[in-house]
Structure formats: structure tokens, C-alpha cells
Amino acid sequence: MLATASQLVLRNIDDLSGKVLLAEPMADSLAAELLHLAPQLQLSCYSTDAAVAASWQQPAVTLYNSAEPAFSDSFDTIVIFYPKSKEQLAYTLSLLKPAIKSTTAVFVTGDNKGGIKSLGSHAQKLGLAANKLDNAKHCLWFSLFGDFAALPQITDSQFSITAAGEQLTLHSLPGVFNHGKLDLGTALLLDNLPVISQGKVLDFACGCGVIGAMLKRKHPQIELFSSDISALAVKATELTLAANKLSGTVIAADGLPEFPKQFDYIVSNPPFHTGIKTDYSIVEAFIAQSATRLSSQGNLTIVANSHLAYQELLQNSFRQVSVIAKANGFVIYRASQKN
């Protein structure tokens, strides 16, 4: 199954030549399709998403799955999938600079609903230019050109918060959830964290690492694990923990990390989007997995938009589900298997 933006890549396959890098593509079968339709191409993939990286794990594809990729060579063609976060395009381009030579053809593809229609003005702000080449399947195909070498290097941003009686220094990167600020849902969650004395605690979908950092600051005796599907979030969380002199294990994982096998507490502001679409399957799988991975006396604490039907999902997997707090359109749920 191919995402529509990937279908547009195949529709414009004649634009691809030589060494081809697909940057931040979708988790679909595009790799297999390209290898079948254009075996002469030398394919590479750069992705910060663990699920995408798994879908591109092919013997004939060179894979770069890091927040700081070290490209071994330059490319003849680069195709960038337009990101949900506009800031991430500038960040991705800054990482790609060593891989772009003067003759590299750079293309951008994306869904109309994802904001790619504004690429022309976006490119102009970066000192580049964009030329629309194709429009099909509610997606656009652009060429991007200009002096890529002049693009500035972009590093992490740093900001401080005061919440739940504690002050923390947070680090973030473009593309990380609510980059550079504390969202209302997470703020409510920080004020309603479970009381923990010890044990293995997971901050799932950790983003910039604020939840795990707060848990470790308040309860230094816990064994903290933080996980996210995004390598950018993993890097940001590592920086956040280091900035606050806190220890923890940070893991890139699609879903709950494989190890440790059991947690005493899981705390999360879980994602409910795949790209730009609401996707209940992510949180449904997360809740079901959490129910099987928690200790018998453990609990799951999550924050959610109040319009999302999470209570029913929780009740399908847990014996006891409580509403802990409500404010600003968000609700805090706590679930356990206790009778």
C-alpha cells in the first residue's frame, strides 16, 4: 500500500537518476516499488521515524536513521517528503547540506492538506526557490533549487519551565511534538503525575523528555525509561536529561520498547495522529500493550483531548479507569488492573 505522496514519486520516476536519497518518506512499500520499477537507481533513505526505517530496511537500500546522519557520499537526486512541521524542512535541509552537490536535483513532495501548497513562500524565506512540476492525487511535486550551501546550521532550542513546583531546562528539535514550548495537555499531566516510590517507569512518546525529567526530578529513586518513535525526540530527551543532571534510558521504538519486559508505571501524552490524520489505532495499540506490560500493582496515566474517546479504549483493557483531572479541553486518565 502506497501513500499518495509516494504514488506521486512513482508518477515522476523519470526525474530520478543515479544515487537517490529519499528524505523522511512514509512507512509504506515505496522502497520495494522503486527497486522493482527502477533497479538501476542506487537508493538511500534518511528517516528519523522508527516505523519508516523498518519499512525501508532492504538489502539494496542504504539507511540513515539518526537525528544527526553522517552521509558517506553526495547524491544525484534527493526527494524530500514535506514535513508536518514547517520548521522541520529547514532542519532537514541543514542536515542534507553535505549530501547536496552543485548538480544534485532536489524535489519535494507532499499532501495538499499537509501545507505543501505554501512551499513557494516557505522556500523563499530560506533563500531558495520552488517550481511546481506536477499536481495529482491531492499531492504536489516541486523542484527545489538555490544555494543550499548557504543554508544555516540549525541546532536544538533550549527553554525553561516551572511546573508542579519544579523548574526544568528543556531541549527540543524541529519536528518534535510542540517544539520549543510546553503544551496545555502536558502541563495538566505534570500537575497530576502518579505518586511513585520506586520501580521501572516509562515515559512513552517522550517528545522533548519533559514528563520523564519531571518524574525523575520528583522521584530520583525510580528507574526511568523514555521512548519515542522519533530519533529527533530521542536526541531531544537525551539533551533534556543531561541539562538537568538526570539519568534515564532513552529508546527509539515503534510502540512500547521491547525491554524491559515489565513496567511499574507508564505515563504518557500519547500521539493520535499519523501525519495529518487522526489515527486511533496508535493509542489503541499503546493501551492494549500497556495492559500486558504493567506489573499487577502498576498503573497507566495519560492525558488526552477531551473529545477523544479514550475512556472506552481504557475500559476495554483495564479493570479500573478513573478520571483524575479535567481542564482546558484535556482530561487525565489513570488505569490499572486492581480490583
pLDDT band at 277 (very low <50, low <70, confident <90, very high): low
pTM greater than 0.85: yes
Which pLDDT score, from 0 to 100, does residue 313 have?
94
**% the chain with pLDDT above 90:** 90
Q: Is residue 90 over pLDDT 80?
A: yes
17 in Cβ contact with 106 (< 8 Å) = no
Give mean pLDDT, residues 269-294. 82
| Architecture of the structural domain at 4-150 | 3-Layer(aba) Sandwich (3.40)
In the chain, list all ranges with CATH 3.40.50.150. Answer: 4-150, 157-336
Q: Residue 14 in 3-state DSSP?
A: helix
Give mean pLDDT, residues 149-159. 93
Backbone angles phi, psi at 220, to 5 degrees: -60, -15
pLDDT band at 280 (very low <50, low <70, confident <90, very high): confident
pLDDT in tens, 204-257: 999 999 999 999 999 999 999 999 999 999 999 999 999 999 999 999 999 999
Interacting residues of 1 by C-beta distance below 8 A, sequence separation 6+:
28, 29
Q: Is residue 48 over pLDDT 60?
A: yes
Give mean pLDDT, residues 40-59. 96
What DSSP character marks residue 149?
A: G
CATH number for the region 157-336 comes to 3.40.50.150
pLDDT in tens, 182-192: 999 999 999 99
Q: Is residue 275 over pLDDT 60?
A: no
Give mean pLDDT, residues 276-289. 82
The secondary structure element, H or E, covering residue 88 is helix 86-96
Mean pLDDT of the chain: 94
Give mean pLDDT, residues 116-132. 96
Of 153, 27, 13, the C-alpha closest to 96 is 153
pLDDT band at 197 (very low <50, low <70, confident <90, very high): confident
Q: Is residue 19 over pLDDT 70?
A: yes
Q: Which three cell numbers stand for residue 1?
A: 500500500
Across the chain, the runs of DSSP E, i.e. the strands, are 19-23, 42-46, 62-64, 75-81, 100-111, 128-136, 139-146, 157-163, 166-172, 200-204, 223-228, 249-252, 263-268, 273-274, 277-278, 294-305, 320-327, 330-336
Q: Is residue 274 over pLDDT 60?
A: no
pLDDT band at 271 (very low <50, low <70, confident <90, very high): confident
Q: Look at 301 and 195; give whichever has higher pLDDT.
A: 301
